[in-house]
Amino acid sequence: MKGAKNKQVVKETERRIIANDPEHNAQYNYAKNYIKTSKYTFFNFVPYNLFEQFQRLANFYFLCLLVLQLIPVISSLTPVTTAVPLIGVLMVTAIKDAYDDYQRHRSDNQVNRRKSLVLRNGQLKEEIWSKVEVGDVIRMENNQFVAADILLLSTSEPNGLCYIETSELDGETNLKCKQCLPETESLGQDDARIGAFRGEIRCEPPNNQLNKFEGVLNWEGKQHSLDNDKILLRGCILRNTDWCYGVVIFAGKDTKLMMNSGKTKFKRTSIDRLLNFIILGIVFFLLSMCLFCTVACGIWESLTGQYFRVFLPWDSLIPPDPPGGPAVIALLVFFSYAIVLNTVVPISLYVSVEVIRLCQSFLINWDDAMYHPPTRNHAKARTTTLNEELGQIEYIFSDKTGTLTQNIMSFNKCSIAGRSYGDIIDPRTGEFLEISEYTRPVDLSRNPYHESNFKFYDQSLVDALDGGDPDCEAFFRLLSLCHTVMPEESRGKLEYQAQSPDEGALVSAARNFGFVFKSRTPNSITIFAKGVQEVYELLCILDFNNVRKRMSVILKRDGKIRLFCKGADSIIYERLKEGQDSLKYHTQEHLDRFAGDGLRTLCLAYKDLDEEYFLDWKGRHHEAAVSLERREEKLDEIYEEIEKNLILLGATAIEDKLQDGVPQTIANLAVAGIKIWVLTGDKQETAINIGYSCQLLTDDMLEVFIIDAHNASDVEDQLRKYREEIRNVTATKQPQTNLSVVTFSDEGVGQDNLSDAGESNGGFALVINGHSLVWALNPKLELLFLEVASQCRSVICCRVTPLQKAMVVDLVKRYKKAVTLAVGDGANDVSMIKTAHIGVGISGQEGLQAVLASDYSVAQFRFLERLLLVHGRWSYYRMCKFLRYFFYKNFAFTLCHFWFAFFVAFSAQTLFDPMFISVYNLFYTSMPVLALGIFEQDVNAKNSIKFPRLYTPGLLNALFNKREFFRSALHGFLTSCVLFFIPFGAYYNGMDQEGRSMADQQTFGSVVATILVIVVTMQMCLDTSYWTLFNHITIWGSLIFYLLLQYFYNFVIGGEYVGALSKAMGEPLFYFTTLLTIVVLMLPVMAWRFYWVDVRPNLSDKVRFKQRHDAKMASKRSEHDMLRTPSARRSRRSVRSGYAFAHQEGFGRLITSGKIMRPRNMKQGPMSNGRATNLRPDNKISLVAPAPSTVEV
């Protein structure tokens, strides 16, 4: 036992593995490579599911009620009336839950059954992923997923390098480089040698830190240090590497990918939680009625009942003495009334809710408006329990890369020698023309290396190059030489592998304009400049990093040494040679305009070097490079020395292409009152640029706060400072006046033109870095951070880890009590997706991890607009309307028994036929309300998007809350009074036409039951705004079905109330009573609703009126009323750095060392993986949100 305990301690603090030794590794019971995101198994489904279902108070209540009904002495109803509905509810819910979990099992199996080559006994054997174990050596081939977290042993590439794509982990598609130990590189792909490898690996225990690994390898008597550069993580894809071998370190749930996934949580909607509270309140109300009836029964039996024992004898269980007998009878009556009045807690409510949710999920799945043809992906509801929560989202937490953007860079514009290229100018007006899909790009096809996807629209740049403009040639020559891109020939086509998409886009642009980067060695770079081969000797690479914000190369050709440099405008301008004021002024103008358009900008410059000076500098550079002290500082000083007195060439402007419709979607969601926070792993400049492009950040904002401190006190100081600024602005602001009239206009496209919408301009934005967020999320500062962030219109968190994303979401969930939604596309978003109330996965190019963990999946971010504003709002609206009506009809039905108790000595005698009681909620009134819950809509989909403020009631929880429940219950209470007492008065001394009395209990009960069905059906007609064929069939069919079933049950089967209803319907008294009751009940309801719609209409009423008006005028609409699609861009000032390389450090060190080189001959061939440019912005058009309307309502 002691040994086991010690072993457990070792396992928790350190992992020990011997490669190819399963017996040794088995003693530690490391997790296998099997993953599980499902909740149930075949064996635990029934108990686990029943346990979850009986957490619903209604289900548990009816279970207790069923037990009571099994006791004959207190039950006046057969147990079947409760057992059948309860079993039906449990079965339907269980089937739905089983279906949901079956889908998760399928997804898990799809991953677990992927194939992998595992080395067993010195031979490669194909195994499924789930059978891979810790300590196994596996072989991976190009374009394969990595099956587990592995230590790299050997690769097909020189110096043990391999390239991976980490889109599953961080959403980034740019390649990253890994390198194995030189000692294991020699193993190559010799299966026998690798099979004999018995290295012992000691490393850290499983954790969720993607960028950190510590361990040692003991092999052949030597100890080798292991770090993150030698580890391939599960979910990565091997790229541009023919093969590699590795030892499995972590498998299955222990992998860093799964450790970041979080635990599957049981999610409930706010309506579910409210229903539990309401059901609890209804139970107390029921017990109160039962207690009242118990006391009243005891009093009646004491005062009157004991004297009628000859006619109403007491049961043998009842004590004969007066004090004890009435008390026991009253006690038994308590339980009897608990059974009779049980329908006030509707068991069919939950099964109806589940059916409605299931159908709403199908409507989401079938919506062709959310279908994405390029990926052939529909929107998919992966759960059926959260639909109405989509209509109450207050906070959206979004990833950036791959979610808001396509992570595709396109060369858009440039400035060369003070002249701007890339815009199309109208020769008549001199104004910029907007580029559309119909604009013809320039023809670059004469270049054999051109890419068909590359688009550029300014012919003047091509003409300048054709004319031999030296500045333009120098510009593109610099782009083709100053980089760390690696070329590769694949299937006869030249392809580039860049450390960042930005750099790839610039080299691709140079290629398309005739300056083709062809190959490189550790000491040379070869390009084809307008068809002529040029070979440059590579003397030095001054690599990029986040501090330098620039990179340079020093090249030699024809005896001339030249330094080429590119970097952020602020960095390059500080290092320019004197006497370039005019060029600097014009270039700065262009940079401001480019950055204002949301483009990512770089400045290009060069400098000729004297060979003697360079040799001296190179010697000092070498001394700094091998220095053991202050190496980085010394290198920075050396770099700073040579990167001075530069000559400016120009600037580039590339676009990180947003996904289609992102600005419009964000603008519309903001108008709807939804706050959007972007949580990204990208650096600050990149995130801010995208913030402006997608309109999270705008120029009308009063301030963009940036928190970038590195310690707790500085972060606190910044937060307090910004809080004071917000308070000062808020204190001096004029109070808003809420108007009752709402005006819509198509003129202000992209603006919230609701006059009662509050402030639509100004406001603040917050940008916070990951290292600052560590302190901001500290318990001491988290409330201060949340206070500042919640008062900002937009929040962008940069350089955040997957765990920090989840912590931010959890912070808002805990303190704001708001419904949250997280949307992402990579494995780094899984924790955030699982933490939020609702998780949405983008089913695009970034893998399946986010989708597998999500509640809903869509192919593009823009579909989130329709998912929330249409399906979410409709689902919430339908569910609330359904619940209000359901409680109304059940109170109206059940309380008739309560009124009847006053006339039957509180004896628990039922007013209605037991058959009617059993099927009232199942057959007579279930289908119309189901049709309402599935198909109802106040306004159509087009207007739901056009008027985003319609979403506001969901944010305010206005359509169903405690107040709305009490109103529905009160309506049902009053309805039951009228339903009971008008027929009671009519039939109290009622006579038929032949003089026979009609004042019997069965006739009275049948009359009240019939009028009840008619009244609640008419109420359904008033509640239905959107009539479909199903509504007509269910509403009118329910009335017909009621009459047919009554006839069949009473006359065919021989029910207790046989002939009662047919007798009543043969007399005029029945029709008079029915008409009077309907008028008394319906007239006030109609008058009340007409008053509110006519005098105090809400936004929904106004839009519905406009919708009817538009439908009538549809035939008269003319073509010019239709709006063209506005540009997604607007002109604005530049308030941020345009420089935004996505990577941290380039390939420079590896290039100059020769380790990254391939010993292969590059063949010439055209390249096909070009970059498509986006539309040119129109400086005169504001950002668009779908226009509200042209009518003032």
Which residues are the active-site residues? 399
Q: Decide: helix, strand or coil at residue 971.
A: helix
Q: How many residues does the chain have?
A: 1193
Q: Decide: helix, strand or coil at residue 1131.
A: coil
CB 200 within 8 A of CB 818: no
CB 140 within 8 A of CB 124: no
Cα–Cα distance, 163 to 583 (Å, whole number) = 41
User: Which residues lie closer than 8 Å to 875 by C-beta, 6 or more apart?
Assistant: 357, 360, 387, 388, 390, 391
Cα–Cα distance, 380 to 859 (Å, whole number) = 9
Nearest CA-CA partner of 138 in 293, 249, 5, 246: 246
> What DSSP assignment string belongs to 23-46?
HHHHTTT---S-----S--TTTHH
Angle between helices 926-935 and 348-365 (to 10 degrees): 30
Q: Decide: helix, strand or coil at residue 465.
A: helix
Burial class of 453 by CB neighbour count within 10 A (0 to 12, 13 to 18, 19+): middle
CB 822 within 8 A of CB 704: no
**DSSP E strand boundaries for 587-702:** 600-609, 647-658, 675-679
Cα–Cα distance, 587 to 599 (Å, whole number) = 15
Cα–Cα distance, 600 to 605 (Å, whole number) = 17
Cα–Cα distance, 1178 to 1129 (Å, whole number) = 7
Cα–Cα distance, 334 to 341 (Å, whole number) = 11
Sign of dihedral through CA atoms 146, 149, 153, 158? positive
Which tokens go with 167?
Answer: 């889109």
CB 409 within 8 A of CB 654: yes
Q: Decide: helix, strand or coil at residue 18.
A: strand
Dihedral of the alpha carbons of 406, 408, 412, 416, in degrees to the nearest 10: 140
Position of tokens 């320039």? 442
User: Which residues lie closer than 8 Å to 337 by C-beta, 6 or more apart?
Assistant: 289, 290, 293, 294, 901, 906, 908
Nearest CA-CA partner of 149 in 29, 35, 7: 35
Cα–Cα distance, 919 to 921 (Å, whole number) = 6
* Other C-beta atoms lying within 10 Å of the C-beta of residue 72: 8
Which tokens go with 778?
Answer: 């500290």
Half-sphere exposure of 1174 (CA within 13 A, CB side): 25
> What DSSP assignment string belongs to 283-337?
HHHHHHHHHHHHHHHHHHHHHTGGGGTTTSPPPTTS-SSTTHHHHHHHHHHHHHH
Cα–Cα distance, 832 to 853 (Å, whole number) = 10
Cα–Cα distance, 7 to 16 (Å, whole number) = 11
Which tokens go with 867?
Answer: 């998912």
403: left (phi over 0), alpha (psi -120 to 50) or beta: alpha
CA distances from 366 to 102, 378, 1075 (A): 20, 8, 43
Cα–Cα distance, 398 to 860 (Å, whole number) = 12
Position of tokens 């005698």? 909
